[in-house]
Chain A
Amino acid sequence: MRYYAYYPGCSMEATGAPVEKAIKTIAKPLDIELVELKDWTCCGSSPFSGVDKVKAMAITARVLAQAEKSGLDLVTPCSSCYTILHEANDLMKEDHKLAWQVHEALTTIGLNYNGTVKVRHIVEVLYNDVGLEALASKVKRPLTGLKVACYHGCQQVRPEYGYDDREYPDWLDQISKALGAEPVNFPLKARCCGSSLVISETDMALDLIHRLLENASDNGAQTIVSTTCPLCHTALDAYQPAVNSKFKTHFNLPVLAVPQLIAVALGFDFKQAALDGNIVSPRKLLNPYFNGKAPAATDKEPAQKAAA
């Protein structure tokens, strides 16, 4: 059993609820124990960084200080939280004035941070700690013939904090393959969904989401496998009808967060995989797999021109 301090992030309780549920479902069978931080608060990522950087870093540091007390690696599913936690770690090492200000602020709430927390992403934990082989060995429902476009989004891979490749990542593709699925070429796999501005610049965000859906669809994807970021999932899933409405398109691309995909492959049912939380329903697409009538694999070597 591997133990990790867990920081879900604000969105996991709301728009990211299905993703959170799916993570909880697959944790035990993969020998992962996620110990949620008590009384955690917002991570201070954008837009808070756009209001006051020092205050933002201070609230990020609160999360880090709490995690440090546990002595465990800190794991988060949200890409925004992931990137800001890393940024705080790095910035406080280089910018001593900031470190001092944050330290002062932390002492007012009885906390201290020594910079020792290792910040990790749940997908990276799946890739490195669980491993593709272990994952593949637990697959009860190989997702053969399922054409997936693997979407990483931007903040998970940029700036670079040791997660995969910053332009053309492929860990989700490898995980999908380990589950029997067939990743398609998806050049926009690490491009922005615009969700950080979807509230105030909805049209602009819809343009970006439309681009992603179109690219996935043009490359033959039946579904998009997204990273665990609740913002990315919501953008592609919940806003898909709005995109169809604006652009007069007919996308019907269920968006499965990778823990949902894993849950299906590991043998869990529709509800346990939190698929009832998806707005673009994956029921029709996944029924064959639930009914034991999975289609055959189409390629021995899936057609993927991913950069090596």
Chain B
Amino acid sequence: MEPKIGVYVCHCGSNIAGTVDVEKVAEFARTLPAVVVARDYKFMCSDPGQDLIKNDIKELGVNRVVVASCSPQMHEPTFRRAVQEGGLNPYYFEMANIREHCSWVTEPGKEATEKAKALVSAAVRRVFYHQPLENKEVPVHPDTMIVGGGIAGIQAALEIANSGHKVYLVEREPSIGGHMMQLDKTFPTLDCSACILTPKMSMVGAHPGIELLTYSEVDYVSGYVGNFRVKIRKKARYVDDTKCNGCGTCMTKCPVKVDSEFDERLSKRKAIYTPFAQAVPNVTVIDREHCTYFLKGKCRACEKFCERNAVDFQQEDQILDIEVGNIILTTGYQQFDPTPVKEYGYGRLDNVITSLEFERMVNSAGPTSGHVLLKNGQEPRSIALIHCVGSRDEKYHTYCSRVCCMYAMKFAHLLKEHVHGVQVYEFYIDIRSFGKGYEEFYNRVQKEGTVFFRGRPGEVTDVAQTPEEKGKLIVQFEDTLVGKQRRLPVEMVVLCSGLEGHKDAQDVAHTFNISLGKDNFFIEKHPKLDPVATMTDGIFIAGCCQGPKDIPDTVAQASAAAARVLALISKGKVEIEADTAFIDEARCSGCRVCNLLCPYNAISFIEKDKVSRINEALCKGCGTCVAGCPSGAITHRHFTDQQINAELEGILV
């Protein structure tokens, strides 16, 4: 079919026409080879503008369309649709960007018009060589996997399961709940954290649509949006979860005591244990690194006393192979360990504690039954809370951890509640109380008598300079609002340490083929407009694994990710853009250079044919393999050498 090209030069109001002489450009276009019609129009993206194209296709037999207007990011889909509605394959269309690339960045005058002409000429020559292409459609598997069973994962799981679709919820700890389970009260409402979380946990545990895989990790992921294959390792609990009813007898009989991770090492658990009383599932697990049987071959007390014969030392890890259409990562955060901040004395001085340690202490189900206590067992009469530990700091994390100001104020409130007559001092650089009810909470805490000092302390020391300081922890700081260095003796110091990405975030990113930022949090597709998607279609992120945030924002993101997944499931299929690469197997020498070059793992080597083959659903059309192939065997649809060379000619001629 002989190419008959229609060129449409848009004025875009005065955006283009104010700088470029659009009529001259259209006049020029008429002189180009194979152009049968060239028009200029005020707003090509409008309905009448689009109709111009459709009419010319019908009446003048135009079979290639060039629109010279704005960026393809704005209206490529619009014009491709118009072309398609006119009866042509949408890939017979090319856009010349004479706005962002020309009129917006050039002074008005001859130069701008000449550049626009060159861009149009390039587009015309290119579109001559366009081929009809079809977008592929792949089906979307209706099951979803959610990795991480904290509040984000729980929320997303319930949203999806409640819509009638199956969810696999994978959690690496023995129980779901995450860090939220460790908290005492939540700001600003002062809801008891466990009280609002456990009902959701129970729902997850009881939901017929959620397959709960705790004490499990994802080993391997392959596939593409709508069709992922995942290998999940269910680690051996050495307890049969179909038999164990969580009665707890084994725990009372076990002789081994281990620092409790859930209680931030402030109390002990047993080698056979559930991490906390309200664990879901309420099934124990044996920690083989500390269990006497695994270390020395003796004991087995738990097995002896279990009335349900649930203990099974022969249990092995189980590998599950599942297929899902979409994955949501809700792997959460870990707390910044303030040990390297030597000037604050964590680990060296008694009674300097972290925020999670404080949460456990003030929690009535915690190691001290809700009493805030010094190492000597007494209640403190004065406490300092230091903000921004490990955050906003070039030496540790440059970002602000967002929640610390609020939880520090929450601590102040709880202290006034729990310890009669206690004096509470907060040391801050800025107060970030940005959310709904947060500023009011700040005001409330001030009313309750907590004193706020603006000044990040230089150090916490036990070296007294006066008799009043003896035996105390001295916070040395500048009261910047007064302009003098001061030393404040207190009995306890709480370091409000920040949130950071998990130490194995790099491995997780690699497993799921998503990007990790410099700050060790996963990278979203767009920080403002697409915070729950990633550059890998079908993989979504929600909650603190994307960046530090409070519970309201976490829940909102989890629901957002769930909605995105449900949209894909509901549509049932996903369109893959046609500009993918393909390998001419006759030319392929089997060198496999392309296999390693592909950033999306889209190319595999077919042993029996000794050639490489591209999975078009995974291919994102980046072109790296095309450039790298030493045999020139790979073609990039819609970006062929012929098309690109033609485009260059158009500019140079």
Give the interface of A toward B (CB within 8 A).
Answer: 165-168, 187-188, 211, 215, 305-308
Cβ contacts B451-481/A at 8 Å (1 or 0 each): 0000000000111010000000000000000
Cα(A165)–Cα(B339), bound, Å: 13
- B465 pairs with A167, CB closer than 8 A: no
**B465 and A211 within 8 A (CB):** yes
Q: Is B243 an interface residue (CB 8 A)?
A: no
Q: In the complex, A168 Cα to B459 Cα: how many Å?
A: 13
The answer to whether A187 and B461 touch across the interface, beta carbons within 8 angstroms, is yes
With A307-B347, A308-B347: A167-B342 Cβ-Cβ less than 8 Å: yes
B342, B461, B462: which contacts A165 (Cβ < 8 A)? B342
* CA of A187 to CA of B464, assembled, Å: 11
A-B contact pairs, 19 of them (CB 8 A): A165-B342, A166-B342, A167-B342, A167-B343, A168-B342, A168-B348, A187-B461, A187-B462, A187-B463, A188-B463, A211-B463, A211-B465, A215-B463, A305-B348, A306-B348, A307-B342, A307-B347, A307-B348, A308-B347
Residues on the B chain within 8 Å of A187, using CB: 461-463
> Closest B-chain residue to A219, C-beta based?
B463
Contacts of A188 in B (CB 8 A): 463
Contacts of B342 in A (CB 8 A): 165-168, 307
Q: How many residues of B are in contact with the other chain, CB < 8 A?
A: 8
On chain A, the residues within 8 Å of B343 by CB distance are 167
State A10–B463 Cα separation when bound (angstroms): 34
| Interface of B toward A, CB cutoff 8 Å | 342-343, 347-348, 461-463, 465
Which B residues lie within 8 Å of A167 (CB)? 342-343
Max count, chain A CB within 10 A of own CB: residue among B343, B347, B463 = B463
Main secondary structure, interface of A, reads loop
Distance in angstroms from B534 CB to nearest chain A CB is 36
Instruction: Give the docked Cα–Cα distance between A166 and B566 (Å).
Output: 53
A187 to B463, CA, bound (A): 7
Per CB-CB distance, the 9 closest pairs between chain A and chain B, nearest first, are A167-B342, A307-B348, A187-B463, A168-B342, A167-B343, A307-B342, A215-B463, A188-B463, A305-B348
Q: How far is the CB of A146 from chain B (nearest CB, A)?
A: 23
Complex Cα distance A188/B343, Å? 12
Which residue on chain B has the smallest CB distance to residue A214?
B463
A152 to B343, CA, bound (A): 16
Task: Give the distance to chain B from A278, nearest Cβ to Cβ, in Å.
Answer: 26
Chain B residue nearest to A166 (CB atoms) is B342
B350 nearest CB neighbor, chain A only: A305
Known A187-B461, A188-B463; further 4 A-B contacts with Cβ < 8 A: A166-B342, A167-B343, A215-B463, A305-B348
Measured CB to CB, the closest approach of chain A to B308, in angstroms, equals 44
A88 to chain B, nearest CB (A): 22
Min C-beta distance of B351 to chain A, whole Å = 14
Q: Across the interface, which residues of B come within 8 angstroms of A168, CB to CB?
A: 342, 348
What is the CA–CA distance of A68 and B633 in the complex, to the nearest angstrom? 55
Chain B CB within 10 A, most for which of A165, A167, A211, A308: A167
Distance to closest chain B CB from A206 (angstroms): 15
Instruction: For A306, give the chain B residue with the smallest CB separation.
Output: B348
Q: How far in angstroms is the closest Cβ of chain A from B438?
A: 34
Give the chain B neighbours of A307 by CB distance below 8 A. 342, 347-348
* B395 smallest CB distance to A (angstroms): 10
Inside 8 A of A306's CB, which chain B residues have their CB? 348
Contacts of A211 in B (CB 8 A): 463, 465
Chain B residues lying within 8 Å of A215, measured Cβ to Cβ, are 463
CB distance from A168 to the nearest CB of B (A): 6
CB nearest neighbor in A for B341 = A167
CA distance A308 to B345 in the complex (A): 11
Complex Cα–Cα for A188 and B461 (A) = 10
CA of A52 to CA of B451 in the docked complex: distance in angstroms?
A: 44
B638 → A minimal CB distance (Å): 46
Which residues of A lie under 8 Å from residue B462 when comparing CB positions?
187
Bound-state CA distance A306–B462 (Å) is 13
Residue of B with least CB distance to A186: B463
User: B462's closest neighbor in chain A, by CB?
Assistant: A187
Residues from chain A with a CB closer than 8 A to the CB of B463 are 187-188, 211, 215
Min C-beta distance of B598 to chain A, whole Å = 38
CB distance from B359 to the nearest CB of A (A): 25
Task: Name the distance in Å between B348's Cβ and chain A's nearest Cβ.
Answer: 5
Residue of A nearest to B346 (CB): A307
Q: Give the docked Cα–Cα distance between A168 and B461 (Å).
A: 12
From A307, which residue of chain B is reached at the shortest CB distance?
A: B348
- Separation of A307 and B463 alpha carbons in the complex (Å): 15
Nearest CB on A from B454, distance (A): 24
